[in-house]
Chain A
Amino acid sequence: MKPSIRDAFPVLARAGFHYLDSAAMAQVPSAVVEAVAKHDLAARANVHRGLHELARRADDAYDGARRSVARFLSAAEDEVVFTGGCTLALNMAALALGEGLRPGDRVVVSEAEHHSNLLPWRMLARRRGFEVVALAVGGDGRLRLDDLGLIDERCRVVAVTHASNVTGAVTDIPRLAEAAHGVGAVLVVDGAQRVPHGPVDPRALGADLYAFAGHKAYGPTGVGVLWGRRERLAALPPVLWGGGMVGAVGPDEAEPLDPPQRFEAGTPPVAQAVGLGVALDWMGGLDWTEVRTRETQLTRRLIAGLGALDRVRVVGPPDLEARLPVVSFVAEGCHPHDLAHLLAEHGVAVRGGAHCARPLMAALGLEDGCVRASLAPYSNRADVEALLYALDKAIKVLR
């Protein structure tokens, strides 16, 4: 019998356990854990520095991981920068692009951004004097793209999420790419939430820079990726300095290497990158048509089930178009944190709170935040039914 996707994740075999918090941290397949352990036991050495046998093995493994990422993104290997995570990748993008920004310039973000793609720009704007403005979201949490007047001749950067970590709404990136490139702006895309749901081609989408995290894509923690078009990366300055990223070093200056090494100062997360490569290869081997069909069925059932509960309201798109299997909700009279706690008592893991997206909470009028259930290819009908059952019980306790 063909093994199920779920079989690859031993933690999910626990009886009465229903993991619906994948948008915060995806579970990791055994193959990834084994690859990381195998690397550290048999090929642990620094990369691109040593000449001994372990160093050669480490180089091969690290370069192989970069090839896996490139394959997943339909990109070239030298367009893939390994970082310590998605937050670091987005901060690096902001710092590198911010070098060229000055008063009078504009960066356009959106109200749907995770703090990781908002605060770096805001903090940089204070120092550099440019402005940061946000595209509004509608009541359904989708970006309102009918009026893109904010993306005008002052705009130098558009930085948006590919998919909301709260509502699951997928952004129309090609539409924003057209607007951004129309005024000569760079398009930075936060792919943290979208990447766990299948291979992405950021170049075809129109992105100039694209970031994602390993731990949300069934890989290890402590690793992320910043992809950039070759010509775009080549035009950016380094933002972190140290070993491994410079050529000649004189008394007053240092010559940065070409990308991607230019952006990988210091010892990179080698074993984690190896694990991420295995995770993305695993993803690449899935039948995504089948996975998406199942995820859509589960999302439909979840939205319908939530709607059938007393005074429970789905936050975000009520439909199944252009959305991820990430569904947030509020229950009148019940604080999200209390609900998340009670659901955990029933073995259902969700997240309650503001989800590092305070501007979105404000825009949607969610003063107390919301509860988020986030699915992954390993989620099943039992997970959804357990959530709906436990939620009904939790609401009765709290009201």
Chain B
Amino acid sequence: MSEELYQQAIKDLAAVPSRRLAAPDAGATLDNPLCGDTVSLDLQLERGRITGLGHGAKGCLLCKAAATVAAQLAVGMDAAAASGLADRVSAMLKQGAEPAFPVLAAFQAVAPYKSRHGCVLLPFKALAKAVASAPPVTPDLDDPDSSRSG
């Protein structure tokens, strides 16, 4: 039943205050036309790695909770890993894959409710869009690792 969907862990995640970045390097806003959810994500990046993330989520409880998790997970990731989160969350919801990170387990209860997958996925898709909008990384010729993603 949906009481499991709205477990305390989800409510706590949704209640985490969000903040936007004053001077982001990249960002994106994404809407879910079904329910009107909107997520905006701001990124700070250093040599292709996310060093700071701000967000604002206007939407349902599931969307807000997912935005908190996306923000928590993305910091420290490189572009490819952050972009790939949406696919990993999607696989968990749609194909029953194990949660890629323990914090995502709270969203497994959403899996039976196909119409709510979009609420959870929206922040992760916004993250991928924000990453894609980032300026290309300029190779640092002094750093042998700069051309590799982590």
Contact = CB atoms under 8 A, between A and B. Distances in A.
Interface of A: 335-338, 341-342, 345, 352-354, 361, 367-369, 397-398
B114 to A, nearest CB: 12
Q: Which 9 interchain pairs have the tightest Cβ spacing?
A: A337-B60, A335-B60, A337-B35, A354-B36, A345-B2, A338-B60, A338-B61, A353-B35, A397-B6
Interface of B: 1-3, 5-6, 11, 34-37, 58-62, 113, 116, 119
Given A368-B58, A397-B3, A341 B36 contact: no
Contact of B34 (A338, A345, A353, A368): A353
30 contacts: A335-B59, A335-B60, A335-B61, A336-B35, A337-B35, A337-B59, A337-B60, A337-B119, A338-B6, A338-B60, A338-B61, A338-B62, A341-B2, A341-B5, A342-B2, A342-B6, A345-B2, A353-B34, A353-B36, A354-B36, A367-B58, A368-B36, A368-B58, A369-B35, A369-B36, A397-B3, A397-B6, A398-B6, A398-B11, A398-B61
Most A C-beta atoms less than 10 A away, residue of B3, B60, B61: B60
A353 B59 CA distance: 10
Nearest to A340: B35
Interface of B is mostly: mixed
For the complex, would chain A's binding face be called helix, strand, loop or mixed by DSSP majority?
Answer: helix
A353 B5 CA distance: 19
A369 B119 CA distance: 15
A342 B4 CA distance: 11
A361 B3 CA distance: 29
Nearest to B6: A397
Nearest to B38: A367
A267 to B, nearest CB: 30
A335 B60 CA distance: 5
B142 to A, nearest CB: 49
Contacts of A352: 35
B115 to A, nearest CB: 8
Contacts of A338: 6, 60-62
Contacts of A361: 36
A367 B60 CA distance: 11
Nearest to A393: B3
A397 B2 CA distance: 9
B81 to A, nearest CB: 30
Contacts of A337: 35-37, 59-60, 119
A397 B116 CA distance: 17
Contact of A345 (B1, B37, B58): B1
Given A368-B36, A397-B6, A341 B116 contact: yes
Contacts of A353: 34-36
- Name the residue among A335, A345, A368, A398 with the largest chain B CB count within 10 angstroms: A335
B32 to A, nearest CB: 9
Nearest to A358: B36
Nearest to A397: B6
Nearest to A355: B36
A354 B11 CA distance: 23
Most-contacted residue by chain B among A341, A352, A398 (CB, 10 A): A341
Contacts of B1: 345
Contacts of B6: 338, 342, 397-398
Contacts of A397: 2-3, 6
A236 to B, nearest CB: 32
A337 B119 CA distance: 10
Given A342-B2, A345-B1, 4 more contacts: A335-B61, A338-B61, A341-B116, A352-B35
Contacts of A354: 36
B80 to A, nearest CB: 32
A368 B36 CA distance: 7
A338 B3 CA distance: 11
B58 to A, nearest CB: 7
Contacts of A367: 58
A337 B6 CA distance: 12
A341 B113 contact: yes
Contacts of B58: 367-368
A352 B61 CA distance: 13
Contacts of A345: 1-2
Nearest to B62: A338
